[in-house]
Amino acid sequence: MNVKQLWRERSALVIVAALLIALSVIGWTAMGQRPFVRTLLSGLTLGALLFMVASGLTLIFGLMDVLNFAHGAMFMVGAYAGWQFYTNPTFLFGLAPLVLAVMTGLALTPVLRKLSIDWTIPGHWRQALRTALIVGSLAVALLGVLGLGFKELAETAMVPSMVAADPLEEATPQEPLATFWYRPTLLLAAALLLALAQARPGDRSQVVHREEVRRGLILASTLLVLTLVATLVREAGPLAVLKMDANWRFVLSLLVGALIGGGLGAVVEMGLIRPLYERPLFQVLVTLGLAFVLTETIQVLWDPLPYQMSRPPLFSQPGKAESIWAWMTEHTSTVDVMGVTFPSYRLFIIVLGGVMLVALHLLMNYSRLGMIIRAGVQDREMVEALGINVRRVFTLVFVLGAGLAALGGIGAAPFIPVEPVMGDRFMMQGFITVVIGGMGSYSGAAVGALLLGLSRAFGDYLALKFSLTPAISEASTVIVMAIVLLVRPAGLFGRKE
Amino acid sequence: MSHILTVDAIQTYIGQFHILEGVSLSVRRKSITVLLGRNGAGKTTTLKSILGLTPPSEGRVVFDGEEIQGKRAYDIAGMGIGYVPEHRAIFRDLSVGENLKIAERQKGDLDRRSDFIFSLFPDLKRLYHLPGDHLSGGQQQMLAVARALVPDNKLLLIDEPSSGLAPVLIEQVMEAIRELSATTTVLLVEQNFLMASQLGEHYTIIDEGKSVHEGEMEELVEDEALIQQYLGASVAQGGGGR
């Protein structure tokens, strides 16, 4: 433990910090206070958004070696989910019972494993049985959703219900409960068949932990209750949400968006990534395919149009607050920050990014899960040899990463257009961020996002000032990446292999 | 049941390479058994196959009365097997304390065992808050062994604990392993024949992926022809002046 060692570890951070401070001083004097502060704040906003995408991407890659090309799509799904929930949650409430029913069934997998592990099935029949179960499950699921008006449900939010004085008028007629209830029931049955296939009946090489069975039962019964509740509040729920205070509805949208993103992450990891661990290239391909599927699905449901989600009242009162303190009471859409008029919502994004960084830091350094993730990034095999189910940690990290990306999406929705291409756009930037920061390092992702955000903002400023092509700001990000990689091939915080 | 572990004719492929072509061995409770053999004979793969990290495609592995071949590595480890891999694979980004804590299988494992661990390796107590990559090679080896002692393991698989260590440190590691064998069972892979012969009570020799010989260490030490045949190079390297 000496100065040299400390320098080797912290040099990246010190150099970046010194560079940023030097550039800030130059920028401040050359640009003048106002343009500088405005550009800086824009850069920070973009940096915060990039961090939300890149942090999950880098964790997933570092731990699982999976380049998740669907990460941008998760960002997009989060934006759409949050926008739906905020504008008119009829669609989400309509689907919730079905999704919850499926989850209930799948949660029973360990229980079914315990029940079916001692069945005597000849080896060659086992695979056939599994195939039959999966096919049967798909058939039952199809039967369950047949005739359900997905598109009609989806369109409920396309007409912003905010314009209507009474949100109740916007309520779309739904299937009456008397004809609806069979759908969740069938989906539950389908999920049970799938869970039985997952349980691999008769395969005695599996170990059934009593703890897992108990947890499965508790989880499944909780989900079952939620399914019932969701079925019953299918119509009342959206109205209750719409009548709620809009600020609280926005907070709920953030949560719902992140939850949906995380849930999607869980499904993707367990259904697509996990069966392909022996074939890493296929994992990358499958995430790429998934990105296309998600983008197209969203185009079908909501057309390729851009939507603008309205900002919650907390950030949308007319006028300008003289300071952040004044904004606290006035809730205006713009705030005066050091002489610059800046949208208050963007300041919120910067704060949200900061909060996420702190939360991630606490999780990674002060929890057992974080400890296992850090260890697993370095040596997965050894973590497994300690008796830790690394695959389950993979799922958690995937859920966490997808949830963060989705949270970023819904956070961004009120100030960038919600449209099917938003995922791709952030995806590429996210990859560059991760490469700059070093694969697998969330602090690297934070620094990379900061660098990228600032270079884009200042690139835009330069392009405008010297009437250069706006492409210069796009190019600047790649230039930053090239320079970083020349100096440090593993990225700023990457470890040399 | 005197044997805690019985390996019966396992075969293991890594990719397309047939690494183990029939390895059998057994490990008696509360003893130290040494796996001997030339470089590349398949000793490390044998340990990894027992643990399920490179699952055997044929043969049986019975641990504590239960067949474990084909089970997941974390399940096998969870049954009470500790693994100390070659090259001191500790987690460099984690502190010494975290390296120990991550090995807990139940809350409080480390608290329960810390007195025992620190009595074996007093250095670790002093280094508790340092990151793993600040440790010297010998300290890392101690940490790797200590990590396997945190949960109540019935069997320890230790791979080449002496490789790359200075003689003084080898003594220290040997002393620790000897003390361990009083309370637990050890299956040790060791190139250094001097160290292996002083520690081991029983041995199994692996050659070209097959187990070819086993017996009591006392007899092996006398049998120079056998040593020459299977271990020639490694004995010379390990100071085979005996």
Residue of A nearest to B86 (CA): A382
DSSP B65: T
Length of chain A (residues): 497
Q: How much is the pLDDT for A478?
A: 87
**Nearest residue to B212 (alpha-carbon basis) of B233, B226, B195:** B226
CA-CA distance, A166 to A179, in Å (whole number)?
A: 28
Say whether residue B242 is in contact with chain A using an 8 A CB cutoff.
no
Q: Which residues of chain B make contact with A377, given a CB cutoff of 8 A?
A: 93
∠ Cα A119 A121 A123 (to 5°): 135
Q: How much is the pLDDT for A161?
A: 45
CA-CA distance, A50 to B177, in Å (whole number)?
A: 51
| CB–CB contact A371 B101 (8 Å) | yes
| CB–CB contact B93 A389 (8 Å) | no
Length of chain B (residues): 242
Which residue of B73, B85, B93 is in closest CB contact with A374?
B93
Coil vs helix vs strand at A459: helix
Quote the minimal CA–CA distance from A413 to chain B in Å. 37
Quote the minimal CA–CA distance from B239 to chain A in Å. 31
Question: Does the model's ipTM exceed the 0.85 cut?
Answer: yes
Residue with tokens 């270079």: A455
Burial A165-186 (b: 16+ CB within 10 A, else e): eebeebbbebbeeeebeebbeb
Which residue of A378, A379, A389 is in closest CB contact with B74?
A389
Q: Which residues of chain A make contact with B75, given a CB cutoff of 8 A?
A: 207, 387
CA-CA distance, A35 to A189, in Å (whole number)?
A: 61
Residue of A nearest to B130 (CA): A1
Which long-range contacts does A271-277 make (Cβ < 8 Å, 24+ apart)? Answer: A273/A64, A273/A66, A273/A394, A273/A398, A274/A391, A274/A394, A274/A395
Average pLDDT of span A120-134: 87
Record the tokens describing residue B157, joined without a space.
């698989």
Quote the minimal CA–CA distance from A205 to chain B in Å. 5
pLDDT tens readout for residues B3-24: 889 889 888 888 888 898 989 9
Say whether residue B14 is in contact with chain A using an 8 A CB cutoff.
no
Quote the minimal CA–CA distance from A445 to chain B in Å. 17
Record the tokens describing residue A395, joined without a space.
């799922």
Coil vs helix vs strand at B72: coil
Say whether residue B233 is in contact with chain A using an 8 A CB cutoff.
no
CA-CA distance, A371 to B91, in Å (whole number)?
A: 10
| CB–CB contact A379 B91 (8 Å) | yes
Q: How many CB atoms sit inside 10 A of residue A271's CB?
A: 14
Amino acid at A71: H
Quote the minimal CA–CA distance from A405 to chain B in Å. 26
CA-CA distance, A365 to B98, in Å (whole number)?
A: 10
By DSSP bridging, strand B185-189 and strand B155-159 are: parallel
Q: Which residues of chain A make contact with B91, given a CB cutoff of 8 A?
A: 374-375, 378-379, 382
Amino acid at B88: R
Amino acid at A268: V
Q: Is there a contact between A426 and A404 (Cβ–Cβ < 8 Å)?
A: no
DSSP B131: B
pLDDT tens readout for residues A414-447: 888 888 888 888 888 899 999 998 888 888 899 9
Say whether residue A365 is in contact with chain B using an 8 A CB cutoff.
no
Q: What is the pTM assigned to this prediction?
A: 0.85
CA-CA distance, B59 to B57, in Å (whole number)?
A: 7
Q: How much is the pLDDT for A11?
A: 77
Say whether residue A387 is in contact with chain B using an 8 A CB cutoff.
yes
Average pLDDT of span B118-123: 87
Q: Is there a contact between A53 and A73 (Cβ–Cβ < 8 Å)?
A: no
pLDDT tens readout for residues A363-399: 999 999 999 998 988 888 999 999 999 888 989 999 9
Report the percent of chain A where pLDDT is more than 70.
94
Say whether residue A388 is in contact with chain B using an 8 A CB cutoff.
yes
Which residue of A207, A372, A388 is in closest CB contact with B71?
A207
Say whether residue A371 is in contact with chain B using an 8 A CB cutoff.
yes
Q: Is there a contact between A403 and A254 (Cβ–Cβ < 8 Å)?
A: no
Spacing of C-alpha B206 from chain mean position:
15
Residue of A nearest to B144 (CA): A382
Say whether residue B115 is in contact with chain A using an 8 A CB cutoff.
no
Question: Which residues are A307's β-sheet partners?
Answer: A418
Q: Within 13 A of A26's CA, how many CA atoms are on the CB side?
A: 7
Higher pLDDT, A251 or A7: A251
Average pLDDT of span A139-155: 81
Say whether residue A377 is in contact with chain B using an 8 A CB cutoff.
yes
